[in-house]
A and B are shown apart, each in its own frame.
Chain A
Amino acid sequence: MLRVPGVLFITGFVLMTQATAVSAQDSSYETRALRIEGHHGDTRIVRGADGNVVGTIGIFRGINVEELVSESDKATLEAKQFAHDYGPGTIFLSLGIATLGASIGVSQINDVNRSITTGLTLAGTGLIVYGAGRLQNAYNALARSIWWYNRDLKR
Chain B
Amino acid sequence: MKSRFFSALTVGALIVAVPAAAQQSGHIVAAGASPAKAGASTPSPSSPAIAAIDSSRRYDSQALRFESRWGSADIKRGTDGASVGTVGWFRGFDVERLVASSPRAVAEARSFKTDNFRGSLATSAGALTLLTGIAVTSNSSNNAASPVLIILGVGGVAWGAQHLQLGYSALSRAFWWYNRDLSR
Interface residues of A (CB under 8 A from B): 2-3, 6-7, 10-11, 14, 18-19, 21-22, 25-26, 29-30, 33, 35-41, 49, 136, 139-140, 143-144, 146-147, 150-151, 154-155
- Given known A18-B48, A26-B183, A29-B183, contact A143–B67 (CB-CB < 8 A): yes
- Given known A30-B180, A37-B172, contact A3–B66 (CB-CB < 8 A): no
Whether B59 contacts A151 by the Cβ 8 Å rule is yes
Interface residues of B toward A: which range?
35 or more
Whether B169 contacts A37 by the Cβ 8 Å rule is yes
Q: Measured between alpha carbons, how far is A41 from B19 in the docked complex, in Å? A: 50
B110 close to chain A: CB less than 8 A: no
Whether A26 contacts B48 by the Cβ 8 Å rule is no
Whether B179 contacts A25 by the Cβ 8 Å rule is no
1/0 per residue, CB under 8 A from A, across B145-184: the answer is: 0000000000000000010011011001101100110011
8 residue pairs, one from A and one from B, having the closest CB atoms: A38-B165, A37-B169, A140-B67, A35-B176, A10-B12, A147-B65, A6-B8, A22-B48
Residues on the A chain within 8 Å of B51, using CB? 22
Residues on the B chain within 8 Å of A147, using CB? 63, 65
- Given known A3-B7, A36-B172, A151-B59, contact A136–B69 (CB-CB < 8 A): yes
Whether A143 contacts B4 by the Cβ 8 Å rule is no
Q: Measured between alpha carbons, how far is A140 from B75 in the docked complex, in Å? A: 11
- Given known A26-B184, A140-B68, contact A2–B4 (CB-CB < 8 A): yes
Complex: chain B residue closest to A37, CB-CB: B169
B11 close to chain A: CB less than 8 A: yes
Residues on the A chain within 8 Å of B94, using CB? none
Residues on the B chain within 8 Å of A11, using CB? 15
Q: Measured between alpha carbons, how far is A136 from B183 in the docked complex, in Å? A: 30
Sample (8) of A-B pairs whose CB atoms are under 8 Å apart: A10-B16, A11-B15, A14-B16, A19-B48, A22-B52, A38-B166, A147-B63, A150-B59
A105 to B: closest C-beta gap in Å: 14
Whether A37 contacts B65 by the Cβ 8 Å rule is no
Whether B8 contacts A35 by the Cβ 8 Å rule is no
Name the one of A49, A144, A154 contacting B67, with C-beta atoms under 8 angstroms.
A144
Whether B52 contacts A155 by the Cβ 8 Å rule is yes
B30 close to chain A: CB less than 8 A: yes
